[in-house]
Each structure stands twice: as C-alpha cells, then as structure tokens.
Amino acid sequence: MSPAPTRWALVTGASAGIGEAFARELAARRHNLVLTARREDRLSTLAAELTRAHGIAVDTIAADLAEPAAVADLCAELERRGLAIDVLVNNAGYGVPGHYLSQPWQRHADFLQVLVTAPCELAYRLLPGMQQRGYGRIANIASLAGHVPGSAGHTMYAASKAFLIKFSQSLALENRDKGVNVCAVCPGFTWSEFHDVVGSREQVSKMPKWMWMTAAAVAREGVEATERGDIVYVTGRANRFIKGLMKLLPDSFALAMVQRRSKDFRVQEPIQ
C-alpha cells in the first residue's frame, strides 16, 4: 500500500494474530495506525513498539465490536480526534465451537455482529471519505473456509467468510473507478492464537506443516494483493491449490470430503 506517512490505517482485532501482523506490515510501510480491539493493554504495548520502530503515529481505541453501538462510537471517536482513515483492515473475528444448537443464540448473535455487521458498517461509514479523497483500501479478512463446503461444527464461520467474499466483490466493482480498492483476503491455516481461543489447537496440530502460514506472511501477501487491486486473494500456494481443487470437484464429493476431515480442524461439540 502507499508508503505516504500521512495515510491513516484502521486495523480491527489488532491485539494479536493476523490483525497484529497487518498492523506491523502497514507500520513498516510508513502508515500511521489506529489499532482497535478489546484488550487495551495489548494495544498500548504494540502501539509503543511500532512508534519506536518506525517513527509513525499510532492511536489506540479499545472497543468490543459485539456491541451494536461499537462501530458508531468508534467512528465518532475517529472524527473527534481528526483522523481520516484511508486504509481499513476488517480483521476482528473468532470461531464459535460446537454444533449450532449447542450454543445460546446470543453467542451466535454476537458472532454475526463482529464478523458480518461490523465490517459492513465500518465500510459504510468510512467509504464516503475515501471516495471524496480519491484514495482508499479496504481489506476484508475472509478465509479459505469461504471457498470450500461447510462442515459440522463452527456452523456459521464458513458462512460468514463466504458473505465477506461476496460483499467484497460487489463493493470493489462499485468503487473501482473511485480510487478505492476492496479485497477479500482469504488465509488458510495460520499460526496464531485463533485455534487456542476456540479450543481446536489439539485437532489442528495434526494438520500437515505444508498447510500452514505465518501471520506475517498472510499480512504481507494481503497488503500487496489489496494494493494491486485484487478483489479476492487466497494467501499461499497450498491454499490456492485447495480452492482450485474444490471448484473442480462435484459438490457432493467435495462436501463429503470436507465432512470426513472436519474432525481434524473443527470443534464439533462445545468445550466444557
């Protein structure tokens, strides 16, 4: 993305994993940053580190995107601080383990608020300014899961990522002549806290090493793809191979294959 230090980038879910990696990648490219997540202590530590390392400005705003008013409050705070966002990385997310009916509805509702509603609302609120300035970058962090058949367990995860992919495609086409690039960045298995949080570390640790990428590599490829104007980008050759294979297989065969392997990467019953 543009190396101009006057550009401000907002990264959600920036306290760890892929979000933190995007923050580091953008900082190395001389973007000023606004970091948001629930864990303010981690944000402050990262902000101090990036400021020292790169000489950029880094603001932090603690927010819980599961709260319906969080995005409006976040954008109001950006306006109060006089920060115009040119780069938006919609990264905040997590998984809900177990089968659909094993969790209370409120947990699913919070999940949809964070992974679907918040990215859409942030884009809605920040896009007008990008259009007016004739420059913008929106990276929606989707997943390889959005390209392959759904599996038992984590029932809405793949569905939410498929939504982000389609949303990004339409938004990109609407804004391609306005200086705004929109990209659905689709990682596969990534070394991060994600699997520890959802309790699937034991399962996924059995997956072959060649299927994994570092968060730093995902962020680097994702930033470059967004800057190039790619609308959908799957990170890593192995993941692109899997996506291509799934497109060639009959739907019924692909679904059966994913279901056979789902126990290796999805928690299918709730963690007690």
Active site residues: 157
Residue partners of 76: CB distance under 8 A and separation at least 6: none
Whole-Å CA distances, 213 to 17, 68, 186, 218, 245: 12, 33, 12, 7, 19
Which of 12, 59, 68 has its CA nearest to residue 37?
12
> Which alpha helices (DSSP H) does 186-236 contain, by range?
194-198, 201-204, 215-228
Token digits of residue 73: 């409050």
Token digits of residue 8: 């401000």
Q: What are phi and psi of 88, to 5 degrees?
A: -120, 125
Residue partners of 32: CB distance under 8 A and separation at least 6: 5, 6, 7, 8, 9, 56, 57, 58, 59
